[in-house]
Amino acid sequence: MDNPHKGRTGLDRIRHAAGYSLQGMQAALRHESAFRQEAWLAAALLPAAFWLGRSWVEVALLAGSVVMVMIVELLNSAIEATVDRISFELHELAKRAKDYGSAAVFLALALCGGIWAAALWSRLAGG
């Protein structure tokens, strides 16, 4: 059976893809408290990246690390939703999938925190 969504091309495909992306963002903001918290943090940190960064590379690293946390959180939420869709039964593979997603979010947060700490240190220490 052919997928009816795969026949779109050009601007029609882009329009539908953008709509699905916006629906995903809205759903994450509505249903995922961790994503909501990270979105509020991003609202403060993204403008601050332009103040803290001394070059476009530093601004890109600061802003990119914040956006990366949000991307990883969305992927983690997708994994959790998929596992829950399959079954709420406790299973070692389901636990492992969710734990891997959680670990990915932790690593993204640690990287983001490290980048921001280093930039703040450099800026405030005058180096």
Mean predicted lDDT score pLDDT of the chain = 94
Q: How far is CA 126 from CA 24, 78, 105, 120, in A?
A: 42, 42, 31, 10
Q: By percentage, how much of the chain surpasses pLDDT 70?
A: 96
Question: Phi first, then psi: what are they for 19, rounded to 5°?
Answer: -65, -45
* 73 carries an active-site annotation: yes
pLDDT in tens, 22-56: 999 999 999 999 999 999 999 999 999 999 999 99
Q: Are 46 and 63 in contact (CB under 8 A)?
A: yes
Instruction: Point out the catalytic residue in the list 32, 58, 73, 92.
Output: 73
| pLDDT at site 1 | 60
93-108 exposure pattern, b = at least 16 Cβ within 10 A, e = fewer: ebeebeeebeeebeeb
Structure-block tokens of residue 72: 């990883």
Confidence of residue 15 (pLDDT cuts 50, 70, 90): very high
Structure-block tokens of residue 101: 């997603």
| pLDDT at site 4 | 65
pLDDT in tens, 69-127: 999 999 999 999 999 999 999 999 999 999 999 999 999 999 999 999 999 999 888 76
Distance, first Cα to last Cα, the chain: 62
